[in-house]
Amino acid sequence: MSDIFRELLKKIGSGNHTGENLTRREAAVATRMMLLGEATPAQIGAFLIAHRIKRPTGEELAGMLDAYDQLGPQLQPIACQRPVIVLGIPYDGRTRTSPISPITALLLAAAGQPVLMHGGDRLPTKYGLPLIEIWQGLGVDWTRLPLETIQQVFEQTKIGFIYTPRHFPLTKSIWEYREQLGKRPPFATMELIWCPYAGDAHIVAGFVHPPTEAMFQTALTLRGVRKFTTVKGLEGSCDLPRDRTAIIGLSAPQRRDEQSPIPIERLHLVAREYNFSSKNVPLLAPEELIVQLQGVLQGIPSELMQTALWNGGFYLWRSGICNSLHSSLAKAEELLVSGAVAAKLQQLTQTVQSLSQLQYPKILTFEY
């Protein structure tokens, strides 16, 4: 048993009257000890459920991210004119609405905007459809590539994916606790703003509850992140809804006080005001979803195409590629209909396959 960890557990688990928040350094220490297995299973389980009941603070999230920086993977800076967009999407996947973020990533990369994603397999507590399965359905398998190869793919195609079971295996034990507890601990909140990239980044994080956005503000300010976007998206993802007003927060880093949270400029977007229907696409069976995504890549009109244009247009504008949302929506349609996004997927697929063959060359056999 770790006496150091016990003291941290006592601090957050003492109830409303005597409990305290952790400092940034204490949160980093606690996270390191859990990831490295230096705390006992009983201590870790108690900490995760106590921290969920207490609710994390922005300072604690900053400390947890510090530990991830120390122990986790990071892609090195690549040559690019804009900050790399890092999409923070819930690891436990989608269960109600069809995701579009892989198409968004391809569209942005086709326009010259690098994108980095991260995630794993089907995970508790939702066990929803994860990004990795969608990419595999599109012909891109990130699961076998070592981090060095991911770096090469990222440099060549402007798209990268950190597959956490392979590239950050220390987190596996935390996912097992999530299954046993039946609840998502604050690690799930922290994952949304994790940035496994060592260069200039633009963090895009989905959220469900307004207090989460405030925690993001504080944590990212403490971490020195000056550009971020928060999206009250579909199932907590970065995908903009069409059936309701999209509530978006844009960082406005004009303030110089490093201790004050970076202010957020509020943006409300209504899909029907841009001639989109007020309808989200329900989650399709994986095989059907892949077929429809391939149709989007071919420029075939559909409800999912509308979702792709709505999201692609917004992120083209937010990344600075287009000056207005109207022009960015037109640009998104041009990229899809012209085949530029499909060509980006082909480049990505060929690059991954080529580098995979270099890593796992076929064994030659001879018949006598």
Can you tell me the distance from the alpha carbon of 187 to that of 268, in angstroms, rounded to the nearest whole number?
28
What pLDDT, on the 0 to 100 scale, is given for residue 262?
Answer: 87
What pLDDT, on the 0 to 100 scale, is given for residue 18?
Answer: 81
209 CB neighbour count, 10 Å cutoff = 11
Q: Are strands 201-206 and 159-163 parallel, antiparallel or unpaired?
A: unpaired
Query: CB-based burial of residue 91 (10 Å sphere; 0-12 exposed, 13-18 middle, 19+ buried)?
Result: buried
What pLDDT, on the 0 to 100 scale, is given for residue 254?
Answer: 62
What pLDDT, on the 0 to 100 scale, is given for residue 365?
Answer: 41
Break the chain into its structural domains and give their ranges: 3-54, 84-343
Q: In sequence order, what are the beta bridge partners of 163?
A: 119
Domain 84-343 matching CATH 3.40.50.720: the answer reads no
What pLDDT, on the 0 to 100 scale, is given for residue 316?
Answer: 98
- The list of the chain residues with pLDDT below 50 reads 363-368
Can you tell me the distance from the alpha carbon of 166 to that of 273, in angstroms, rounded to the nearest whole number?
43
Q: What angle do CA 82, 344, 165 make, to 5 degrees?
A: 80
CA 191 to chain centre: 7
What pLDDT, on the 0 to 100 scale, is given for residue 367?
Answer: 46
